């Protein structure tokens, strides 16, 4: 590309020089040479600008990867330096501190190796408590959506018993309010559809109904399980889809939330297809029955959820 531009400018400068020679025969040859040099310099400058533009555009992706790697390498270097200090103060190879960190290093090595091979990361509630880190991923995704299933077995139990789930739910709601997330779709699987009339669940349905960009559909847990079994999803649990690039599958809800994240495209597509199959089938997933028109904020939902029994007693 750059060579072609240089050749074109060289030809153009020659044509201009010949043109001047025809129009103004008295112009000295040295002037024609100067004009040719000027055109050559101009061509070189343009070539340099284009080359810099294409090179910087090409290297931008490489730089982002390098920057990410650099952050990790800096942390590893800090670990090495501090570990050397621990070694220098040790009482030999059986030193308690050395044995402890050797075990921790081995666990970390196995974990990273497992993630690199399977593209899966197992996490517990501590990860969700730092919801900001988790939600940062949406800024890098083309499809800024969150789709998830939520099985509810007992409407007498608090919806936001776990602090990690409460924080995540609140912050995703805020992203939707700020139009930083395109949509949030929740598939609520009730043990019994009569739950929809329970005050706590009714408040939840009112929340989904009155908040822009946030919606839900309901299904019986029995039917939900049958569809999952039919699609070869045995022992199905709750799951979440972050755009089309990340999947979270819950492993346990008690005593704390835990599960694994996956970047495996095949698994993401499988869960995405399952969700959309249920969501788009009217005879399977029912529309939100709420008729509420006054917005229910997350704060109102949370307060109602935590004080419902007290209100009932009064």
- CA neighbor of 190 nearest in space, from 218, 225, 169, 214: 218
Flag the least confident range among 85-94, 194-203, 230-239. Answer: 85-94
Residue 130 pLDDT > 60, yes or no?
no
| Other Cβ atoms closer than 10 A to 51 | 13
Residue 216 pLDDT > 90, yes or no?
yes
Helix (H) or strand (E) holding 287, with range, is strand 286-287
User: Model confidence at 69, in pLDDT bands (50, 70, 90)?
Assistant: low
Q: What is the structure's pLDDT at 2?
A: 47
Query: 189-210 b/e with 16+ CB inside 10 Å = b?
Result: bbeeeebbebebbbbbbbbbbe
For the chain, percent of residues with pLDDT exceeding 90: 34
Task: Label residue 232 left, alpha or beta by phi (over 0 means left) and psi (-120 to 50 means alpha).
Answer: left
The pTM assigned to this predicted structure is 0.66
Domain chopping of the chain, boundaries: 2-60, 121-313
pLDDT tens, residue by residue, 162-177? 887 888 899 889 989 9
Q: What is the structure's pLDDT at 203?
A: 97
Q: What is the structure's pLDDT at 86?
A: 78
User: Model confidence at 313, in pLDDT bands (50, 70, 90)?
Assistant: very low
User: Model confidence at 280, in pLDDT bands (50, 70, 90)?
Assistant: very high
CA distance 125 to 248: 13
Yes or no: say if 181 and 213 are a contact pair by the CB < 8 Å rule: yes
Tokens of 27: 């112009």
- The domain 121-313: what is its CATH number? 3.30.870.10
- pLDDT, the chain, mean: 78
Q: What is the structure's pLDDT at 306?
A: 93
């Amino acid at each position: 590309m750059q060579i072609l531009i240089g050749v074109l400018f060289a030809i153009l400068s020659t044509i201009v020089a010949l043109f001047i020679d025809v129009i103004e025969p008295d112009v000295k040859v040295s002037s024609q040479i100067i004009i040719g040099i000027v055109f050559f310099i101009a061509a070189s400058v343009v070539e340099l600008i284009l080359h810099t533009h294409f090179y910087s555009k090409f290297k931008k992706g490489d730089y982002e990867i390098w920057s990410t790697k650099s952050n990790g390498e800096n942390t590893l270097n800090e670990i090495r330096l501090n570990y050397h200090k621990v070694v220098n103060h040790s009482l030999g190879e059986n030193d308690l501190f050395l044995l402890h960190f050797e075990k921790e290093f081995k666990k970390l090595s196995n974990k990273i190796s497992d993630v690199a091979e399977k593209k899966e990361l197992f996490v517990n509630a501590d990860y969700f408590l730092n919801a900001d880190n988790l939600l940062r991923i949406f800024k890098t995704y083309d499809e800024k959506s969150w789709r998830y299933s939520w099985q509810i077995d007992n409407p007498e139990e608090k919806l936001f018993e776990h602090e990690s789930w409460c924080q995540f739910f609140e912050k995703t709601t805020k992203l939707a309010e700020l139009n930083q997330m395109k949509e949030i779709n929740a598939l609520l699987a009730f043990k019994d559809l009569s739950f929809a009339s329970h005050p706590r669940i009714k408040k939840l349905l009112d929340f989904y109904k009155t908040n822009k960009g946030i919606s839900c559909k309901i299904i019986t847990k029995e039917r939900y399980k049958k569809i999952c079994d039919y699609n070869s999803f045995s022992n199905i649990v709750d799951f979440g889809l972050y755009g089309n690039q990340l999947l979270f599958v819950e492993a346990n809800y008690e005593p704390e939330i835990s599960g694994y994240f996956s970047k495996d495209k095949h698994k993401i597509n499988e869960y995405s297809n399952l969700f959309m199959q249920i969501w788009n089938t009217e005879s399977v997933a029912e529309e939100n029955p709420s008729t509420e028109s006054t917005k229910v904020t997350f704060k109102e939902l949370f307060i109602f959820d935590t004080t419902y029994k007290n209100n009932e007693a009064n």
